[in-house]
Amino acid sequence: MQKIEKMESLREAYGNELAALGEKNRDIVVLDADLSSSTKTGVFGKKFPDRFYNMGISEQSMVSTAAGLSLSGKTVFASTFAVFLSNTYNVIRQSVCYNEAPVNFVVTHSGITVGEDGPTHQILEDVGIMSGLPNMKVIVPVDSVETTSVTDYLSVKKPSPYYVRLTREKFPVLNESNYEFHEGKSVTFRDGSDITIMAYGIMVSFALKAAEILRGKGIDTRVVNMSSIKPLDRTAIVKAARETGKIVTAEEHSIYNGLGSRVAEVTGEEYPVPILRIGMPDIFGKSGKGMELFDYFHIGVNDIVEKTDKFFKRDYI
């Protein structure tokens, strides 16, 4: 009998853990921009209305208020849809990052899994945008378990801001319940000696499925979860380059300024090897069912198999 994947919502895991942490830490305050039922911060808001601030459809006000609260000693979580937070780039740059205000931005509805909301809401550039900001850390959890662990990790106040990218869709649960997130460290879900696929978010589960198919083709594939985008696990990248010779990156994001770019930077500086970047090309998304859009844009499981197979067999001078 085929194993049935356990699917869980990352945003629900975030909301539930936030509410649980609120019981233990009275310094936690939560801000939202009129989307608390979707981002699931409303779970916290119902339990702790005196520490929950609905800023309305005013994301810039949310960001500046979050900066002030964090610099006043509060542990601040601020949430909205990923595309709406990116609209406040200059406020994040000036009020948060420049001042090293330790705000935890946890956004939902990122990437093409937003689905029917269409290209105006399917932000595909946010990892690059946020990674380019000085002092900003960027995390993209692979499943609900890692989301819970990341939320717990950020509940102990850190000296810098964070951007955590969540989604609308439910993802397969890949981690054991006792998993602990470690900033700047990757996790190897599957070892292999022929080629490495590095991914984050939903693309890790796609890469694992692709690796099983590739095994049938005689290609031993390593799969690495790179949920910590900034800081990046440079050691794991160089290790993969040395041991497997070729690296594929897979992401629900533009191939420009995303994981593929980061990995290429590291290998270019330390151990040059061929890199294949699988992700969205220089285009916007499209309205459609979230999970079906991966095949439409040729970044689904079968596409990863086909592209990796051709890449592995390609000779380089």
Annotated active-site residue in 17, 59, 146, 169: 59
Rounded to the nearest 5 percent, the helix, strand and coil shares of the chain are: 45, 20, 35
Residues 6+ apart with CB under 8 A from 116: 287, 288, 289, 290
Encoding tokens for residue 4? 């049935």
Active site (annotated) includes residue 306? no
Encoding tokens for residue 130? 């946020």
Q: Name the residue among 46, 110, 55 with its Cα closest to residue 84.
A: 110
Q: How many CA atoms lie within 13 A of 293 on its CB side?
A: 24
Residue 114 Cα distances to 88, 223, 285, angstroms: 20, 25, 10
- Catalytic sites, residue numbers: 59
